[in-house]
Structure 1
Amino acid sequence: MLDAARFYLPPLLVFWFFVVMLVNGEYRPRSPAQRAVCLGLLGLGTSLLVLTPAGYAFAARVSGVANIGRLIGHCTLLLVCWAGLAFVAWLTGTPAQARRRSRRAAWWLLAGAAVLTVLFVLAPVDVDDVRFATRYAGTPWVLEYWVAYVACLTPAIVTVMRETWRFARVTPDPVLRLGLRVVAAGGLCGLVYHVHKGLLFAAARFGFDYLHLGLVDMVVPLASNVFVFGGATIRWWAPRIGLTVLVAWVKRYRTYRWLRPLWLDLYRASPHIALQRPRGAHLDLLPDDLGLRLYRRVIEIRDGRVALQPYLDPAVAARARRNAARAGVRGQDGDAFVEATVLADALRAAARGRELTAEARVGVPGGGDLDSDTAFLVAVARAYRRLA
């Protein structure tokens, strides 16, 4: 049962996606990046299908070439790598740069496919066997074939992992961020599996000991395929299973908790700012209206700053800005550091009852709407926590 799931579940998932999404018209790729994703998924499904026992035997029977399914599956996986490189090229560069990088990657992977074909012809693998590694691990030219294959895959996988992870750090969409990180995790699993196989072939060829873990062969490639497919299609299936709502709730909850220490100190200095008295942090998980509570927390932090107006010292703000500039902290992070420093100083002054003798005029940084202002206050709260 586990073997059947490992072989047949991933290609069934991929082609089910194409039937539901593309044939029914629910999704039409409009941009080059979306077309690259579709091409990559088609290549992934083809590769997985031809490497199933039934697909493997069918390819050998139709072509008359033993183990041709192995070569077809690996060449279509190179197509998947090209699609991943094209996707990150269109995601991170200008159209001219993306076209240039895509062409360069295509030539590199086509050359790799040609080398694989030559080495496959040279290798004496005349008996068709889907358990290729078990039968042919020590056969001449098989190790060379695998080294060439991994040499083509590794730069592409590493590039896709690095770029998707980097883009995930800056995208504001939490679902897309999760999908990109899942794709990166799938790439890592694929890289681990192919390196493991290379070591297995090298051990059989040169006679050194290598711990062959069957669990790696069974679980890691399955995880890689499911992660890549799931991450690439997350924007479609996440709303259907409620994941989008869950991710949005988790994001609001984390924001709410990040703001708590700053809000609590402002409340202690000016209790009138709060609509309700503070409750235990563990009660924040209660299934009431988190959106309303987060909105109230942002408003109450702003009200707490207004209440501290007599204690806000422009000299402290100027000194904090100079310190931030010397440390290379600029932009929103610099503004957040200055605001946190000013608030911390004002809270200490309020606790001692020391108002400024002259009227203080400290600018009010923040966002232009509720979402951007909330993001700014989270940065302030983080800086405040570090200062505390």
Structure 2
Amino acid sequence: MNEVLYPVLAVTAWAGCAVKLQGLRRGGNPAGYAVCVALALLGSTFTLSTPAVWRWLDRATGVPNLAALWAHLSVVGFSGTVQLLLLWWVTPPGEASRRARIRFAFLATAAVAMVVLFLASGPTEPRVGEFVATYVSRPVFAVYILVYLGAFGLGLIDVVRLCWPYARVSGRSWLRRGLRATAVGAMAGLVYCAIRISSVIGAQAGADPRRWEPLAPIAASIGAFLVIFGLTMPAWGPRLSQLRGWVRRRQQYRQLQPLWVDLHRLMPEIALEPPVAVPLSTLDRRLYRRVIELYDGWLVLRPYLDEAAGGRARRLGTQVGLREEELAAVVDAARLRGAVRAYARGARGPDETEAAPVRPDEPADLAGEVARLVQVSRAYAFSPVVAAAVAGREVLFPNQTEVAM
């Protein structure tokens, strides 16, 4: 299991560190650098815990199981870095400095104790797999593990205690999600600590600690993945939102196509620029222009709007229980379809007295106008209510009542 999980975690942690570093090039801050250090320490932990790297380090240094000590110290360093980062986020600078000094002194003491205990416990036989389970029956090594778990576990408790409440008051959605993911990851890390403590207690009582060993890497891996995602979410989350928004706007652009095609066929002059089937780099500008073109075509069709079809669409839509915005869309779509048919025949209806559709001038108006026009375009192309109203029918066929919009 470790041959697969730990390399994947190492790559994920180093990739997260690279993502954060790339963001810092555009303007760094101490918190950003602290996140990079935390991710680098996690990457170091799982790199060294990878069996192939563990064996290589044993051969290169001649010190058996040195990778274990290094990985454990990296875990303690990671825990301390995240604690310090959160302290600077959620407490006033003076208080944060005082608490940071206390935590740093505690972690430094724990690290020195770990080195002394590791050397004194003498794990001289290389044990890539089940390292803790092999040596935890030795009292000195058991103390080493307890010091390691104490430093790590207290840090995780601090992470949960600080992350979860702060997430509730965070104004940035991706930071809020990241803090919650980090807190849940820390909880999974506490499960790992509990498993390791059970191994220590069981070994001293004469039980076989290998019984719990398969659970430890699973809990550690789940926790690490969540912490990595949580710490990097504020960096990549907004980009994901932008991508989601771009995909939605591209879909809306295509959904406006049926209505736009009919209007453009009758009035090619409404096109502000040559049409593009799937705009990519110019999508936002193209979508805005498409809205303007639709309103221009709608304005030309005002004298032709089929009010009788609109009335029938309102009655039919009310009968099938359409919501208010859906009802407004099918009424407009029916009037427009009747107008397109009349315009194509060259007929002319009486001038309308209602106000003409207004172009959205402000970007804030665009989202609402696009959503409204998408509903009208979809009803124009697909609604059986619109088709029945334009055809002069006052009833829908039985199989059309459930797909009225």
Which TM bucket (shorter chain)? 0.5 to 0.7
**Cα distance change of structure 1 residues 221 and 28 upon mapping to structure 2, 3 Å threshold:** farther
Q: Tell me if 1:207 matches 2:178.
A: no
Q: 2:41 maps to which residue? A: 43
Q: What is the deviation of 1:4?
A: 3.1
Partner of residue 219, structure 1: 218
Q: Secondary structure at the match of 2:41?
A: helix
Q: CA deviation at 1:27?
A: 4.4
| Comparing 48-57 and 235-244, the one that deviates more | 235-244
Q: Which 5+ residue runs of structure 2 have no aligned equivalent?
A: 249-322, 327-364, 373-405
Residues of 2 paired with 1:53 and 1:20: CA distance?
Answer: 26
Once the two structures are TM-superposed, the CA of residue 208 in structure 1 deviates from its matched residue by: 4.5
% of aligned pairs identical? 26
For residue 116 of structure 1, report the CA deviation from its aligned partner.
0.8
Matched residue, 1:72:
70
Which residue matches 1:193?
A: 192
How far the C-alpha of 1:64 sits from its partner, in A, is: 1.7
**Distance in 2 separating the partners of 1:226 and 1:139:** 32
RMSD: 3.2
Aligned counterpart, 2:50: 52
Greater Cα radius of gyration, structure 1 or 2:
2
User: Following the alignment from structure 2 to structure 1, what is the Cα–Cα distance between the partners of residues 210 and 63?
Assistant: 32
User: Alpha carbons of 1:29 and 1:67: their partners in 2 closer, same or farther (altered >3 Å)?
Assistant: farther
Matching residue of 1:233: 232
Deviation string 1:245-279 (CA, Å, 9 cap, x unpaired) is: 58xx9xxxxxxxxxxxxxxxxxxxxxxxxxx6499
Are the equivalent residues in 2 in contact too, given 1:168–1:177 (CA < 8 A)?
A: yes
2:58 corresponds to which letter in structure 1?
A: A
Question: Could you tell me which residue of structure 2 aligns to residue 261 of structure 1?
Answer: none
- The alpha-carbon distance between structure 1 residues 65 and 29, as it changes in their structure 2 partners (threshold 3 A), is farther
Q: Residue 117 of structure 2 is aligned with which of 116, 119, 125?
A: 119
Offset of residue 20 of structure 1: 5.0
The aligned residue for residue 158 of structure 2 is 159
Q: Secondary structure at the match of 1:50?
A: helix
Does the 8 Å CA contact 1:75/1:113 hold for their aligned counterparts?
yes
TM-fit CA distance, 1:94: 2.2
Q: Which stretch of structure 1 is more off in the superposition, 182-191 or 85-94?
A: 85-94
User: CA offset at residue 28 of structure 1?
Assistant: 5.5
Residue equivalent to 2:83: 85
CA distance, structure 1, for counterparts of residue 187 and residue 238 of structure 2: 26
Secondary structure of the 1:180 match is helix
> Aligned partner of 1:229: which letter?
I
Given that 2:35 and 2:85 are in contact with CA atoms closer than 8 Å, whether structure 1 keeps it comes out as yes
- 2:172 is aligned to 173
1:33, CA displacement in angstroms? 2.0
Q: Is the 2:86–2:162 contact (alpha carbons within 8 Å) kept by the matching residues of 1? A: yes
Q: 1:80 to 1:218 in 2, by over 3 A?
A: closer
Q: Deviations over 1:4-24 (max 9, x none)?
A: 3311001111222334553x5
Structure 2: distance between partners of 1:41 and 1:29: 19
- 1: distance between equivalents of 2:157 and 2:182? 12
Q: Is the 8 A contact 2:174 2:233 kept in 1?
A: yes
The answer as to whether partners of 1:32 and 1:90 remain within 8 angstroms in 2 is no
Question: CA 1:101/1:245 → structure 2, altered by over 3 Å: closer, same or farther?
Answer: farther
Distance between the aligned counterparts of 1:210 and 1:64, measured in 2?
Answer: 27
Shift of 1:172: 1.9
Amino acid across the alignment from 2:97: R
Note the C-alpha offset of 1:158: 0.7
Distance of aligned partners of 1:178 and 1:95 in 2 relative to their CA distance in 1, 3 Å threshold: same
Alpha-carbon offset, residue 234 of structure 1? 0.6
Amino acid at match of 1:16: A
Q: Deviations along 1:298-341, whole A, 9 cap, x unmatched?
A: xxxxxxxxxxxxxxxxxxxxxxxxxxxxxxxxxxxxxxxxxxxx
Q: State the number of aligned residues.
A: 258
Normalised to the residue count of structure 1, the TM-score between the two structures is: 0.59
Deviation at 1:235, TM superposition (A): 1.7
Q: Distance in 2 between matches of 1:245 and 1:168?
A: 23
In structure 2, relative to structure 1, the CA distance for the partners of 1:31 and 1:225 (3 Å cut) is: same
